[in-house]
Structure 1
Amino acid sequence: MSRVMYLFGAAAPPVFYFADVVKRAQADGWQVCVGLTPPAACWLEERLPELEELTGHAVRSQYKLPGEPDTWPKASVIAFAPATMNSINAWALGLTSSFVVGLAAEAIGKKSPTVAMPCVNSAYAHHPQFERSVETLRNAGVTMLYGEGGFVPNQPGQGRPETYPWHLVMNAAEKALS
């Protein structure tokens, strides 16, 4: 049986490294399907053909129409990284206007293994709703890689997307299946 990872990303600078993440996941035996928030899809517009060629699947950022077939295989695990403050808050509040947030929200009800790692600066992280949202998702069974042992926010303007700890996402996805 094939292991399928839905790799979801929001519009934060580490999303520019998605092709490398897909290759790493494939080297670890994953079949990967890429889903993006609409702003992230806009950011990666020129790279979408490369991601589709790498994965063999359409990159999705919109819900399919009723009656359209689902072209992705069933997920073994969902990995949502980078997840912005907007995506984390919408997900925790059940606001599913974004395709990837909608699937992540549905995964909670289906008890599907789900891993998320935010990418926010310390100014966003200090917003009171953000901490509540992280806690809400943790309590719902989502593996939130945030704080000690996960993503640690940087000062505004001081982020280094090339150092985003993707290995933590991959390790947590492996662990979620065991």
Structure 2
Amino acid sequence: MNPDGKMLYVIVCAAGPAGEVGQLVDLAQADGWDVHVIATPAALNFINIEALEAQTGHPVRSRYRKPTDPKPRRADAIIVAPATYNTINKFAQGIADTYALGLLAEAPGLGIPVVILPFANSALAGRAPFRRSIHQLRDEGIDVLLGSDGFDPHASGTSDHSASGFPWHLPLQRL
């Protein structure tokens, strides 16, 4: 925990590599970031909340705070990894129906850099809505690490194998 340092929000989605997001936390902390983990509601079943809270020194958040809770410091940067098909499409459309998506919806307007490392199978990644979303996000200045820039979509039914080689280091290199 580095409360006076640069703040990084790591948004984790419900995908194969999510259980290993602690690797990204380690890398970011070694690079001087104070890391806060934000989980999509579905990702809560994929991660070890207690271990991530111990690792970061902060609660894992997945819901908006109560009005009486202290307001967290704004992030200096956001990494979304692994980013799912659903989260990417909703982010591109400006949908803010979860805490994680609400943070993402505001980030471009606040000038907060966002780096996305998708984890999607080739059947989903080949769909027109997904391709449009990637294009829209990149047009808005969002760094999407897909294909030659990052992680290639995996074949349907092979997510367990693909998760083992997830390149957690890539989004940090782009910040």
In the superposition, the TM-score normalised over structure 1's length comes to 0.91
In structure 2, how many angstroms separate the alpha carbons of the residues matched to 1:56 and 1:49?
Answer: 10
Residue 125 of structure 2 corresponds to residue 125 of structure 1: yes
Q: Deviations over 1:11-70 (max 9, x none)?
A: 0011111122211211111110000100001222xx111111111111001111335322
Runs (5+) with no aligned partner, structure 2: none
Please identify runs of 4+ aligned residues in structure 1 that moved more than 2 A. 65-68
Indicate which of 39, 44, 48 corresponds to 1:41. 44
Identical amino acids, percent of aligned pairs: 39
Residue 58 of structure 2 corresponds to residue 31 of structure 1: no
Alignment of 1:80-159 (within 5 A): 80-159=80-159
Q: CA RMSD in A?
A: 1.3
Residue 28 of structure 2 corresponds to residue 14 of structure 1: no
In structure 2, how many angstroms separate the alpha carbons of the residues matched to 1:113 and 1:157?
Answer: 32
Q: Deviations over 1:73-96 (max 9, x none)?
A: 321110011110000011111111
Runs (5+) with no aligned partner, structure 1: 174-178
In structure 2, how many angstroms separate the alpha carbons of the residues matched to 1:170 and 1:37?
Answer: 20
In the superposition, the TM-score normalised over structure 2's length comes to 0.92
Secondary structure at 1:61's aligned position in 2?
Answer: coil
Letter of the 1:23 counterpart? D
Partner of 1:68: 69
In structure 1, how many angstroms separate the alpha carbons of the residues matched to 2:24 and 2:143?
Answer: 19
Q: Deviations over 1:90-117 (max 9, x none)?
A: 1111111111111011001111111111
Partner of 1:168: 170
In structure 2, how many angstroms separate the alpha carbons of the residues matched to 1:111 and 1:16?
Answer: 29
Letter of the 2:69 counterpart? E
